[in-house]
Amino acid sequence: MGIDVPIGPILTYAGIRGSYLFFDWVEDGLSYYEGDWSGLCYGLEVGGDYRFGMFDIGVRYTFDMGTITDATGTWVDLDLATGALSMRVGMAF
């Protein structure tokens, strides 16, 4: 969920994110490290788009964090934080 605010030809964006993460770790030869973790994550997304004609180009930065738990109870909870920068090219209507 987010909001777009136009500033001249730039369309700025900010939003919140919510997700459910499932992480499966399998490693050959070291079976005691294998496990399944899952849990709720939340985050923030910010960026901007520049519109020229019917096309636009933009960038987004996303940051997600949360705590995921081991399905078997063998391992302690895993605190997770991840970020990504992406570039977008598309058609604007």
At 44-79, the pLDDT tens digits run 999 999 988 888 899 999 999 998 888 777 777 878
pLDDT band (50, 70, 90) for residue 27:
low
CA distances for 25 relative to 5, 32, 67, 70, 79, angstroms: 41, 11, 16, 11, 15
Q: How many domains does the chain have?
A: 1
- Tell me the whole-structure pTM to 2 decimals: 0.70
Domain that holds residue 45: 2-91
How far does Cα 34 stand from its chain's mean position? 24
Q: Residue 31 — φ and ψ, nearest 5°?
A: -65, -20
Residues ≥6 apart with Cβ < 8 Å to 24: 35, 36
User: Is the predicted pLDDT of residue 38 greater than 60, yes or no?
Assistant: yes
The structure tokens listed for 19 are: 């997700």
